[in-house]
Structure 1
């Protein structure tokens, strides 16, 4: 199987010719802060099967744990840790076809954002048909 992906601006790209070791949605607070999102979906890939092109900058978020990102657009590309020395955890949103991603499990549910349970019951809009400033605020009268 060949997988491929890239950052938002296209300055960094990756390909993988090996099998996926894990497909997870992680709800840990580190992933939430690192991605500014309530969870992160990622693919575990064998490091030796992933080829990168372009410049990648690393941030050591804790000892032995590194997060790679594109210095041009800031896209978070992957997470790697000494805990899993032969794997790189590539963010699924960087896949060329991210809509085809299928996670196998969710982890660290104790940190899951509670408001995710409400997503099915809140209004849905395909775009900004209404000015967000005009939307009623929770608990407010307007």
Structure 2
């Protein structure tokens, strides 16, 4: 078992787990897209009882039996849990303190995948912002 740790953007909420990782996946469903304002969400699945939280977490029931947790101070999305997997919590991989070892082993709900992701390989690549917001240099 690996010790995993993470936090929200502002650091008001932290989490840790020494439990086994049950899944590493990327979800392309429309609900995840809307909940995170991102084209997909990467999750680390962990046993719910193996995760320790510090700080206040606000919960939102995004659909019946589905709850999403976030930091009330900065708004960072922290996890997804569902009655479909009552013993698991799916923590957003982007909250990991060290993301270097994260490797998703599955992509799910590909029918709802954002089509524009297919064009990313053809887009210009830059180490930083190459233009100021609004197109000014």
Fold-level match, TM-score > 0.5?
yes
Partner residue in 2 for 1:13:
14
- 1:82-115 superposed Cα distances (whole Å, 9 cap, x missing partner): 1100000000000001243110010000000111
For residues 118 and 99 of structure 1, the distance between their equivalents in structure 2, rounded to whole angstroms, comes to 25
Give the aligned partner of residue 117 of structure 1. Answer: 118
Instruction: Name the SS for the 1:130 alignment partner.
Output: coil
| Aligned residue pairs, count | 135
Deviation at 1:132, TM superposition (A): 4.3
Unaligned runs of 5+ in 2: none
Which protein has the larger Cα radius of gyration, Structure 1 or Structure 2? 1
TM-score after normalising by structure 1: 0.91
RMSD, aligned CA: 1.2
TM-score, normalised by the number of residues in structure 2: 0.94
Q: 2:84 matched to which residue of 1? A: 83
Partner of 1:133: 134
3-state SS, counterpart of residue 117 of structure 2: helix
